Amino acid sequence: MPAIQHRHDQINGIRLHWVEAGAGPAVLLCHGWPETWYSWRHQIAALAAAGYRVLAPDMRGYGESGAPDAVADYTIFHLVGDVVGLLDRLEIAEAVVVGHDWGAPVAWHAALLRPDRFRAVAAMSVAHTGRPATAPLEGFRRAGREGFYWLYFETPGIAEAELERDVARTLRCVYHAASGDVPADWHWRAVVPPGGGLLDTTLEPAAAPAWLPAADFERYAAAFRKSGFRGGLNWYRNIDRNWALMGAFAGARIRQPALFIAGARDPTLRIGRRDPLAGMAAAVPGLRASVLVPGAGHWVQQEAAERVNRELLAFLAGL
């Protein structure tokens, strides 16, 4: 990894931690759950070497960044506000925003809400299909899908108690279940059994994955032993609130150049009842490519780092 700087400042009402590397046009990387800025370690190196200024924050509620107590302090407006605030703090007029997992909705919405600040967007694992007609959690309840893990996360304290009991085991199981390493005849269905927990939906891995060496895994485990999981879980607890807040933007389109990347074995592409890729053409008319990486699962930028780096660099070069 090239030389990086760790920086902290008060931004958008919280203490934000981020790392920087390289010089040139700005590329801002937004991680997902349950990760930290470190999930972008392979991309930071490649992008900085290619002549970009890379910014990778610990998102609100994670790592060394602040974690407000109130659930309502984790709306999509707060999350986009954090990355806009980071650009303001560094006096950067515009950037390309890249997001993975929960960071993908942040990236998509940053592009949608602030096209003046984000000239292009690349998202991984979570497609953008626009605002649904019904609030998502309400839709799951109406459909009788009470076991869906988003609903399990809703009540503060329950998921935290389960996930923090043994942080290393939690991360091993979650990373494995959503990866391309699971058996060919199994995929994560994200339905918590009655009286059970999230880890009951996963498989215990037989060995550590090749894409996550022990030293890298320990970086994550140490971060979550320190921070706990509440901050990240509060993002999920705003899903229906975000739906309501975005009412004024129903039907709005993302017109900047866009790239979507996912692992072909990513279970999040199969969780819903509809194909998430099918709705992107209408919602993201600027979409230039949709790339499915063979063999990779949800953690695509780590599982298939070289392929992801090639796709990102080609996209950036074409802007």
Q: Which positions are annotated as active-site residues?
A: 101, 298
Q: Which helix (H) or strand (E) holds 245?
A: helix 239-245
CB within 8 Å of 17: residues ≥ 6 apart: 6, 7, 8, 37, 57, 58, 63, 64, 65
CA-to-CA distance for 10 and 227, rounded, in angstroms?
18
CB within 8 Å of 195: residues ≥ 6 apart: none
Closest CA to 182 of 204, 151, 167, 163: 204
User: How far are the Cα atoms of 68, 128, 258, 286 from residue 111, in angstroms, in the given order?
Assistant: 25, 11, 9, 11
Return the bridge partners of 98, or none: 29, 122
